[in-house]
């Protein structure tokens, strides 16, 4: 196969929120699998910069800033992506019950975790390649049916809202055959997950990459975990 043919046949991913943790791990994984990756950071990330590669482009954007997202859309030009994966999210005061979280904090968690990812998907929908998918980082904590333990109340609510908005987004664009994946990464040893979590970042991101590649371009809205198993809404 010629080098030029390999280059044109390479899959491309846009990974949003890749400065550390799971986003950074996904960038590493897709680069290792031969994808070309555009990765975004909210502020400069030495870890992301250290992945320097001809196949990696790094951009800076805050997904809570509509103007910044529009500028990114313009900067990236007409490039189409086989995968657009919005990882960015926050868990501010996640361990406090809803009534103990200041209204402004709870509202910001909702905006960043539910509204902003779907707004980003809407803004970049025209950059999705035929047969591609939009993936959004969700959580099993966003499942209403599986909430048997309580806790993490504002975070759970934000991810449940993300799931609902993503389903509505897919329905709104169903005529285009768009594929939307809501992905639970597992309970991972990151800054958010903590040291007691079940799995490491490498296990999570390898599983998520497998699950995403297996469903790439599948129409509909699918809620699944890093093992590729479907979750209850």
The CATH code of domain 12-224 reads 3.40.50.720
pTM equals: 0.94
pLDDT tens readout for residues 31-62 = 999 999 999 999 999 999 999 999 999 999 99
Round to whole Å and give the CA distance between 63 and 120.
7
Residue 54, burial from CB neighbour count under 10 angstroms (0-12, 13-18, 19+): exposed
DSSP state letter for 193: T
| Domain limits, the chain | 12-224
Residue 1's contacts (CB-CB under 8 Å, 6 or more residues apart) are: none
Q: Which pLDDT score, from 0 to 100, does residue 189 have?
A: 73
pLDDT, tens digit, 9 for 90 and up, residues 156-201: 999 999 999 999 999 999 999 999 999 999 988 777 667 777 888 8
């Amino acid at each position: 196969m010629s080098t030029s043919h390999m280059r044109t046949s390479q899959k491309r991913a846009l990974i949003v929120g890749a400065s550390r943790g799971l986003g950074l791990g996904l960038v590493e994984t897709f680069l290792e699998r031969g994808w070309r990756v555009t990765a975004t950071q909210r502020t400069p990330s030495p870890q992301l910069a250290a992945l320097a590669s001809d196949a990696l482009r790094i951009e800076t954007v805050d997904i809570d800033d509509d103007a910044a997202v529009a500028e990114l859309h313009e900067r990236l030009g007409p490039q189409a992506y086989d995968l657009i994966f919005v990882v960015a999210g926050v868990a501010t005061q996640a361990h406090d019950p809803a009534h103990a979280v200041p209204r402004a904090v709870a509202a910001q968690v909702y905006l960043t975790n539910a509204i902003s990812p779907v707004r980003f998907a809407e803004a970049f929908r025209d950059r999705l390649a035929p047969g591609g998918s939009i993936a959004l980082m969700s959580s099993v904590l966003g499942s209403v049916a599986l909430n048997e333990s309580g806790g993490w109340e504002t975070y759970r609510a934000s991810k449940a809202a993300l799931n609902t908005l993503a389903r509505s987004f897919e329905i709104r664009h169903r005529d285009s055959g768009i594929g939307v994946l809501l992905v639970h990464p597992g309970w991972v040893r990151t800054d958010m997950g903590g040291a007691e979590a079940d799995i490491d970042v490498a296990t999570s991101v390898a599983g998520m990459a497998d699950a995403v590649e297996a469903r790439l371009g599948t129409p509909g809205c699918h809620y699944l975990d890093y093992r590729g198993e479907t979750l209850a809404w």
